[in-house]
Structure 1
């Protein structure tokens, strides 16, 4: 994949085909295929993600568990409509059926466990995403939904950091999650821009997705729109840093590497100045004097995302013990005493469907990305991103994130696919 020569010269992994004329042709190309996109369910996929992102988890500050189930069902139903219009990914449908058979089998074999049918919903949401094919184009409506999601997230995030009472009030009333203390420590004490996600781990991954997509849009744009996209990317980068967590450190390093890789190949004075000013402002915000001490404290603390899941006495210790003692007997959709779920791939997949079930999920994810993306490097990057999430916060079984994955893939494809379609139509004399 080669970048637009007018923007990034040698950046191959972040672009697509030769994009020399992409900026002039994108808009017209999208207009020409807009009707075809709607038929393929593009707006439905973006709507599904929007609802999964902003349907509340609490009412009046009281966490309501059933709202997460409602969100998964509604978003999955919208994707089902898309599947009815555009077909499905057969290979992943086969994996889905095999996965569910294994889940039910292990449920039946777990005779001492308490049956918990609600545990199936995260997997339903995950597989609905993985069997839904990517549409070819992003319509104007879909793009507006994407930008609206980004604007709301930036307001909620920056609002928390800057002490905006209205932003904090929205999160307190409608987006408290997991437990009653989490909001207090994340927002009131930590001033962390967790938005509707509840926790810094998940927020960091989602913000990283947005930062990368907006940086790619910036590379394929010109004029004021280009500057706006860069500011959006830097805004999400700022929020990642402000999260001050293990995930934030790892993902901000990825973003910084991306920015400097671009600067290495393309000297744009105004853009460089903007990035330098933003970096300086971020370092000032987090107090550069104690920056290294803060990083060391986060990495060495038993409470950080990775270490806190492996030290003796952590909440997943019972889960690890069960798996080590019963490696071939997962518990399916049941619950046993001293076993905790979530937080990593072991407590989300292996405990319920074993290593084989987890490998099936990874294979389905690979098929999904391989089918949607042209570049092997980008496919491997996406798989690495999912694996990184599986160490701390599985993205495919978390409804706030899984329905966003098709959106990020579509927005990544958008500049290239619009250009390719336009070129094809011109060559055919249309």
Structure 2
């Protein structure tokens, strides 16, 4: 646990004067396309707290978008990364390899779903992992098409923008995009027209109909899906939907790719979210929580699929950097030692009932959803399901001003999402929920 005091403290407005000064410098020199959710400039972070240049300490319900699940500067991450920094910082694994890369691949083979032979390739970001999963699937199947889902998010490269559903802010003005990408329905229970009880069966049937009639199953290299749609609004597909899609992929020789970049590494109360319904993907993409804050990503999957790409066809100068690999080994060590899947489940046990109690009090909350420490509330016009992005923004701003970092998401911009570090103390967790409730009460 961090030496940073685990308590909220406000000594100035949020943001304070020093952060305002730094923000002016940022606006003068940093590209305007880099947006900032909460312009407080950080000096220290650890556990469930972030400290800014003005001395404010904020409760962290964001984890750098699910990255610092083990906490900022977790001791094992710092120790292993520091030792590696002292030894060497880079050689490029494609030139002269090193053991840390191999160890990460071994841990991924051990931890990811399924007991079949597995191999991995390491990269820098989630988008790179997804893009390489598509490359591998195409090499293996000799097919061109890729199927993705409504509300999905997969990255900001040209191909992964094509895979991503939402236009603003991810795609607008950046086309044309990569071809042979097809989007099919997702079982979004809350918004399924015939009701959530029909969503899994009807959405799966609709998706399969599009694939078979409009694309041709024998043209599809990969089906890529998030087990819980992250940026799209923390949408957990209705139960039964994922198994049916995975079975269809298997029956038609299509590579089933689970994008676990936001859900993976204990976030949902299991090591990987697809375990919830017993899904064993052919390929799984990971990033975010894998390395405790250092840039690392991976594609892991069936050995025969991973070996389909020709020698030299996968790689990148920095992919699987030794310092990032060492950090990942420290993060995995922490996850095991502290049993972070159990801690994630406990966070869900605390957050979900409290948020549902708020739903009873505040009709603007249309749905509370999620698993483990990946929880969200969808905000609507009271008495309807009309999205309410204005209130979502107002609640987030009120939380920020009170010293709580929260994030928004959703295709309609109307979802508050909560991603606390899995090591957060229960007192901080409850204090943060108090702030959320106060923000709703102040509407």
TM-score normalised by the chain length of structure 1: 0.29
Task: Name the structure with the higher strand share.
Answer: 2
TM-score of the superposed pair, with normalisation by structure 2: 0.29
The structure showing larger relative contact order (alpha-carbon pairs under 8 Å, at least 6 residues apart) is: 1
